[in-house]
Structure 1
Amino acid sequence: MGSFPALPLDEDELADGTAAFAPLPAVADATRALATALDRAGAPPGGEPLLDCTRAEFTARWDGLRRTADPDEPLVVHFCGHGAQSPGGGGLFLATADGQAAADRLFDTCVSFAGLLEAAELSGRPVLFLLDVCGAGRAVVQQQLNDLAARRAQDAPRRVSVVGACADGSLTYGARFTSAAAEVLHRLADGALDLTPTLEFVPVETLAAAIDRLLDGPGGGTVVRTPHAAAAGEPQPFFRNPAHTRDPQAGLLSGMNPRLREFALGCAPGLDPLHFATRAAGNPTVHVVQFSGRTAQLATVTDWLERADDERDNLLVVTGGPGSGKSALLGVATCLLHPELEPLAELVRPVVPQFAPRPPATVLAVHARQLTLRQITDSLRHQLDRQTADGAVRPGPNGGSPGGAGGPAELLRELRAAEDVLIVLDALDEAQDPAEVVAELILPLTGGDPAGGCRLLVGTRPWWDSLPSLAAA
C-alpha cells in the first residue's frame, strides 16, 4: 500500500520528466485497521501490512503467498493507494511507493493489475481483490474482457473476484473504502451482518453491498464488483459465516427470545417465522427489534394494501440487492399482519407505529429460499386451511395442523374462491426454480384472470434477465 510521502525531486529527475504521485496520508491508518478486521473475520494477513512498499516488495509478497499457500487456500489481496490507467483507456496500474505517474513509466514502475489477474486465474484457487484506488472499476472491465477473449462459459465457476471502491473513470478519496471494508468485517466477526445461516461463507456480492451502504456521501463512489451470472451457487470461501448451521432453525432457536421458541416450532411448515422475525428485528435473537427508517416504503405498502378492490393492482414487488432491507420490510409487514405471527406483533408494532394498514381477512406467507414450487404451494394451502374467513387460526384434525395434497391448480381454485387474501412471498430469487414459481403461481394469480381478491407482496433481487415475465407483469 502506498501513502506516498512527499519526496522532493532533484534537478536530474525533473529534467528526465519524472512525475511523482501525490501524498495519501489516510492510507496507513486505514490499512492497519483493515488488517485487524481481516484477522478478526478469519483471514489473517500473511505478515505485517506493507506500507509504502516498493513494487519489488509488493511482488515478492504476492509471489510468496501464492507459492506457500495450500492449493485451495483462498487469498484476499487488498491495495489502497493510487490507481492509474495507461493512455487510451488501457489497463489499470497500482502505484507503489516507487511508482511514477508519467504514462510512459507506468509499466516499468507500477504493478499491472492485468498481471495480478492472470496469475490469480492460473493459480486455480479462490482470490479476492479489494481495490481502494481511483478507477478501480477498470479491474472489473479487464476481467470481463478476458472472459470474452477466452470465450468463458457464462455458467463457469468464478474463482477470482474483484471489489472496487469506484467505477471505471471515477475517483475515490480518503481511504474511505478501506475503512468501510474494515467496519463490515468487524460486523461480520461480531455476528451483526445480515446473513442467512444456510450459507457457510459470505457471498462477495453481500460484502460489496454492505461496504457500499457505508459509503453514502462525498468521496464514497459507487462500489463495483465482479458480476456473477449464475443465480445460484455456493459462495467462495473467503470469509466464514459465523451464523452458519446445518440446522438453521435449531441454531436460531438456541438463542432466541424464550417466549418465541415453542411458538416458532408450532407454526405452519414453510411459513418460517424465524426468517420473518429475525429480518424484522435486524438480529438473530429477536430480544429487541432494531428496524428503523424505510418510512416511504412502508407508506407504499400501506397504500397498496388499502386498494384491495383494484384487481389491476394486485402485485407489489419489493426489490434490492443482498442486505438492502427488502426482507426486513416484508418481515415487518408479515409479523404485523399474519395471524400465526401475532406473538411477534407486540414486539414489532412499537417501532413502526405509522404502519397500520387494514388487515386482510386471510394472510399467507412463505420464505421461498431453497423451496420447490410444490413446497411453496403446499405451505400456502396449509396456511389457507388453518385460517377461517376472519383470519383466526384454527387447529387441524385432532388438534394438529391440516394439510392437503394438490398442486398449484388446486391452490389457485381455492384462492379464487376465497376473498381478501394477502400472500407474502419472500426470497423468490432463491427458490429452487424461480421462473417456474412466477409462471405457475404468481402470473396466474395476478395476470389476465386474477384470483379474485388475492394480492401478492413479493421480495426478490432484481435479476430481471432470469425473471423477464415478472419484470413485465
Structure 2
Amino acid sequence: MKMLPLPDGPLGDLHRRLRDLHRDAGLPGAPHMAAKTDYTHSTMRRLMVDAATPRWPVLLAALVRLCPLAQWPLEPTIREFHRLFEAVTSDASTGTDVAPAPVLVDDPAESARQAGSTSARALVVGVNTDRAGLVDAHVSELGDVLLELNGRRTDRVHVVTDLPAADVEPTLRRLSAVIDPPDEQLVHLIGPGAHGSRSVYFAATEPADGLHLGAFLERLEDVKGPNTLVLLDIAVSASDGTHNPQRWRLLSGHDGRVAVLGVVIPGQPQLLGRFSEAVAVVLRRLHQGTLPIHPREPFVPLSYLRDAIRRELTLTPGKAPLPAHFFVDDVPVGNLEQAKFVLNRRYRPDNGVRLELAQDDEARAFLDELAAEAPALDPGHYFGRAAGRPGADVRSPVLFSGREAELSTLQTWLDEQAPATALRVVTGQPGAGKSALLGMIVCAAHPSLAALRVFGSARRQPPGTFAAAHARGLLVQEVVRSIAVQLGLGREVRAASELLAALAARPADAAVPSIVIDALDEATAPREHLDLLLLPLAALERATAPGRPACRLLVGTRPWPEFEQLIRRATATGGLCDLDEVPWARQRDELSTYLSRRLQTPFFDEHAFGEADAETLARRIADNLTDPRRNRAARGGPFLVAVLHAHRLMRAASRPGADPMSLRVPAHLGEVLELDLAARSPDRLLRPMLVALAQARGAGIPERLLRDTTATMATAFQRRSAPQARRIPRPSEDRIADLLASVSFYLRRSPGPDGTTHYRFFHQALSDYMTEHPGGPSEDWR
C-alpha cells in the first residue's frame, strides 16, 4: 500500500505509530488486515493510506488484527492508541468535526453493561497431582486469559491451587457475595478425582475425601443465585471398563441455571490439562475477536463455546482426539443459550448506534438486526438489490435507475385502497433486474425499514399492512410464519391454511395488506409454495366483504414451466411484468444510465472514472449487452453482467499501467466471472472454495465447514489428473479468511443459527454457474 505523507501534530503521531505496528506485523495487505474483522479491505486500506482521522471501531479492529502478527501486547497497545486517538479528536488544529472518542473500556463487563448486561466473574481451582507443576501452569494460563476478559480486575477473577475439596463451595459462596447484583459466574475445576457408584468426586483419590460434583451442581441449581457455567478437567482412576458416556452426566432434571462442560478422564492422568489448554486457546481467540461470532451477538452463544472447545481438542495438530466418552456435556436447551458468560468482542451496539456507524459490512449487521423478528424478510437482500452496488453502507447513494414504468405501476397498485386485482408477478431471466425492482418497492414501503431514509417516507406503509419474504432456500412454513409476524397475526400462525383463515377474517373496513415474495424459483419445494400458499392467496377474498381481495400479492420468479398457472393468472388480470420483454432500446438507455453512475462511484478497492470516460464506457457496454444477437440463454441478464463487469473495470483502473478502456465486454455471466478469476494469481484453493460456496443453502456456509469442504473439493479436482495425489490439507483459519476477503465482492455475509458468520454468493446465478462449471469454463465459453 502506497502511504500518503503524514500530517503534523497528534494525527501524524497516531498514524506514525500505526505504521510502526504495520511494519512490525510484516506489512500485511488490506485484504489480510480485513480478514476476520467486520470491515472490508477498502476500509482498512483507507485507514492505512489516507492519514485521515480514523473511526475508533475501525482502528480498534486493525489493532486486534495487527498486534498478534507484530507480537505487540494487545491491551497496552489498545490503551496507547486510545490516548493518541483522544489527542487527535481534542485537537482543534485537525480542522475536523469529530464526535468525542468512545471510551475504551478495560472491563468487558462494563462494555457489556452498555448493551444492558454484564460478563461473568470466574473461579479457577487447580489441585496438583504427581505431575508437579503442570496443573499450576494450566491454572495460571487460564487465569490470565480470564483476567484479560475481565479487564484485569482481580476482584472478578480468583485463581487458587491446592484448595481442599471442602473449601471449594464456601469459596464460591464468598465470591458470589462480592458483587451485587449477582451476575453470571464461571467455575473451572482441574485436578484429580475419583468416581463412585453414582457420581464423580473432585480433589481426591477416594470418593469419601472429595467434592461430590453431582450434589455440588444440584445445590448450585437449587439455591437462588446466578447462572453458572462449570468447566471440568478431571482425571480419575481406571474405570471398570464400561466407559458408558452417560456415566458422566452429573445433572438430571435441572431447570436451566447451571451448564456443565468438560472431561472426566479415566485411567490416563497424562491427559489432564488438555481440556484446560483448549479452553484457554478458545477464550483468548474470543477476547482477540478472531473467531467468527456475528456482530449482532452481544455474548458468545454457549453452544458455540462448547463446539469451539471440542474442535480445538479434536483438531490440535500432533495430539490424538479425546474419546467421546470422556466428555461431560450438560447444557440446558434454551435458557442459557443467551447467557452472558463470555463477551463477544466483535459485537456492535444497538440499532441506533449501529446505523450511525453503518459502513461496509457493519451495515449488514444493522440490516440483519432489523429482521430479527422475521428472519425470512431478509432486508439485506432487498436493500442490496435496490442499492445496485456492493457493500451495504446505508448512507451511500442508491444507484438503481430505469424501470420507471414498472415501478410506477407497482407503486400505484400498492397505494390503491381497493385494488382491482390481487396478483402481480415479475418475471425475467437471472440478472434481468427482478429483485432490484422488488427491492425498491420493499425498501420504500416496509414499516420495519423506515431507518433507510434514503428511500424517503412518502410510500411507507403502516405496521401490520406490509410483509415481504425472500424465499430462497425456505420451506413454505418458514415463509408463512414470517408473513404472519410481520402482519401482526401472531407467532401461533404456522400453517398456510391458518394464514389464509386469518387474512380472510379481517374486518371489512381494514386496509388490504400487501405481501411480497421474491425468489420463488429458489425456494425449497417451490411447488408447495405455489399450491399451498401463493395460488390460494391470489384467489382469497375477505369473508366480511365478498368480492374484495383479502391481500395484494407480488411475486418475483424466473418464468419456469412449473409456475405457468401463477403466470397465466397474472396475465389474465393484467398483472404480469416480464422484464425480458422490455424493448431493447429502453433497456440500452436504462443500462447506460446505471453504468454511468456506477463507474463514477467507487467501492472496495475500485477506482472511479471521470464523467466523460464513464459515459463512453457505459454506452459501449450497454450497446454490447443489449445487442439482440446476444445469447439470451446464457445465465446472467444484462444488469447482473453489467454489475460484475463494472467492478472488474474499476479494479483494473486502480492498477498502474492498466487500460480498462480496452477490456472487452463479456457476453454473459460465466465469461465475466472467468475473466476475473483468470486475472488472479493461480491458487489451488480458490475455485474449490467457490464451488463449495455454490452449494450453500439458507444463510450460507460457516467458515469452519467451508475449510473442510474446500479441502475436499481441492483434493477431488487434483485427483482428476493425478489419481494417486495426496489429500490437500485443511486450510488454516487465516488462509480461508484471506480467500474470502479476496472475493468479498461476490459474497453475502449473514448470521447463522449458531451465531457465527455464514457466507454465500450474493446472487443465485453465480451459484448456478459454479455448480455447472466446477472444474472451469467450457471450451466455447468465449
Q: TM-score w.r.t. structure 2 length? A: 0.33
CA–CA distance in structure 1, aligned partners of residues 310 and 248 of structure 2: 16
Cα offset, 1:110, TM superposition: 0.9
Q: Which residue of 2 aligns with 1:111?
A: 211
Q: Which residue of 2 aligns with 1:362?
A: none
Cα offset, 1:392, TM superposition: 3.3
The structure-2 alpha-carbon separation of the partners of 1:422 and 1:447, relative to structure 1 and needing over 3 Å to count, comes to: closer
CA–CA distance in structure 2, aligned partners of residues 214 and 112 of structure 1: 29
Q: Which residue of 1 aligns with 2:251?
A: 143
Contact 2:126 2:162 (8 Å CA) reproduced: yes
Q: Which residue of 2 aligns with 1:27?
A: 135
Aligned-residue RMSD, C-alpha: 5.3
Could you tell me which of 691, 698, 704 is aligned with 1:458?
Answer: 698
Cα offset, 1:71, TM superposition: 4.8
Q: Which residue of 2 aligns with 1:41?
A: 149
* 1:236-247 matches, cutoff 5 A: 236-247=339-350
The structure-2 alpha-carbon separation of the partners of 1:80 and 1:458, relative to structure 1 and needing over 3 Å to count, comes to: same
Q: Which residue of 2 aligns with 1:436?
A: 494
Q: What amino acid maps onto 2:227 in structure 1?
A: P
**Secondary structure class of the residue paired with 1:220:** coil
CA–CA distance in structure 2, aligned partners of residues 423 and 224 of structure 1: 38
Q: Which residue of 2 aligns with 1:66?
A: 176
Q: Which residue of 1 aligns with 2:684?
A: none
**Secondary structure class of the residue paired with 1:58:** helix
Could you tell me which of 290, 293, 317 is aligned with 1:192?
Answer: 290
The structure with the largest alpha-carbon Rg is: 2
CA–CA distance in structure 2, aligned partners of residues 398 and 187 of structure 1: 38
1:261-287 C-alpha deviation (Å, 9 max, x unpaired) = 69x98xx9844549x9xxxxxxxxxxx
Q: Which residue of 2 aligns with 1:131?
A: 232
Could you tell me which of 238, 254, 266 is aligned with 2:357?
Answer: 254
2:269 aligned with 1:229: no
Contact 2:386 2:439 (8 Å CA) reproduced: no
Contact 1:83 1:133 (8 Å CA) reproduced: yes
Contact 1:165 1:224 (8 Å CA) reproduced: yes
Aligned pairs, how many?
312
Could you tell me which of 432, 445, 456 is aligned with 2:526?
Answer: 445
Greater share of helix: 2
Q: What amino acid maps onto 1:33 in structure 2?
A: E
Cα offset, 1:187, TM superposition: 1.9
The structure-2 alpha-carbon separation of the partners of 1:159 and 1:25, relative to structure 1 and needing over 3 Å to count, comes to: same
The structure-2 alpha-carbon separation of the partners of 1:168 and 1:137, relative to structure 1 and needing over 3 Å to count, comes to: farther
CA–CA distance in structure 1, aligned partners of residues 191 and 304 of structure 2: 24
Q: Which residue of 1 aligns with 2:196?
A: 86
Cα offset, 1:35, TM superposition: 0.9
Cα offset, 1:86, TM superposition: 0.1
CA–CA distance in structure 2, aligned partners of residues 139 and 41 of structure 1: 33
Q: What amino acid maps onto 2:228 in structure 1?
A: V
The structure-2 alpha-carbon separation of the partners of 1:339 and 1:35, relative to structure 1 and needing over 3 Å to count, comes to: same
The structure-2 alpha-carbon separation of the partners of 1:388 and 1:48, relative to structure 1 and needing over 3 Å to count, comes to: same
Cα offset, 1:60, TM superposition: 4.1
Q: What amino acid maps onto 1:206 in structure 2?
A: Y
Contact 1:180 1:211 (8 Å CA) reproduced: yes
Q: Which residue of 2 aligns with 1:182?
A: 280
1:204-263 C-alpha deviation (Å, 9 max, x unpaired) = 212111111211152434554333334x876122223333345359638838549x969x
CA–CA distance in structure 1, aligned partners of residues 360 and 344 of structure 2: 22
The gaps in structure 1 that reach 5 residues or longer are 7-22, 148-155, 277-334, 345-383, 413-420, 463-473
CA–CA distance in structure 1, aligned partners of residues 265 and 495 of structure 2: 35
**Secondary structure class of the residue paired with 1:200:** coil
Contact 1:55 1:110 (8 Å CA) reproduced: yes
Contact 2:348 2:354 (8 Å CA) reproduced: yes
The structure-2 alpha-carbon separation of the partners of 1:130 and 1:234, relative to structure 1 and needing over 3 Å to count, comes to: closer
Could you tell me which of 390, 411, 421 is aligned with 1:343?
Answer: 390
Q: What amino acid maps onto 2:302 in structure 1?
A: V
Q: Which residue of 2 aligns with 1:416?
A: none
CA–CA distance in structure 1, aligned partners of residues 142 and 445 of structure 2: 52
**Secondary structure class of the residue paired with 2:698:** strand
**Secondary structure class of the residue paired with 1:163:** strand
**Secondary structure class of the residue paired with 2:186:** strand
Q: What amino acid maps onto 2:494 in structure 1?
A: E
**Secondary structure class of the residue paired with 1:49:** strand
Contact 1:137 1:167 (8 Å CA) reproduced: no
Q: Which residue of 2 aligns with 1:202?
A: 300
The gaps in structure 2 that reach 5 residues or longer are 1-124, 237-243, 372-376, 392-423, 447-460, 486-490, 500-519, 532-559, 564-694, 700-751, 755-782
CA–CA distance in structure 2, aligned partners of residues 41 and 242 of structure 1: 10
**Secondary structure class of the residue paired with 1:164:** strand
The structure-2 alpha-carbon separation of the partners of 1:227 and 1:174, relative to structure 1 and needing over 3 Å to count, comes to: closer
1:378-420 C-alpha deviation (Å, 9 max, x unpaired) = xxxxxx9888433233655997657699x9xx999xxxxxxxx
Name which structure has the greater RCO, CA cutoff 8 Å, separation 6+: 1
CA–CA distance in structure 2, aligned partners of residues 398 and 163 of structure 1: 45
The structure-2 alpha-carbon separation of the partners of 1:206 and 1:434, relative to structure 1 and needing over 3 Å to count, comes to: farther
Q: What amino acid maps onto 2:230 in structure 1?
A: F
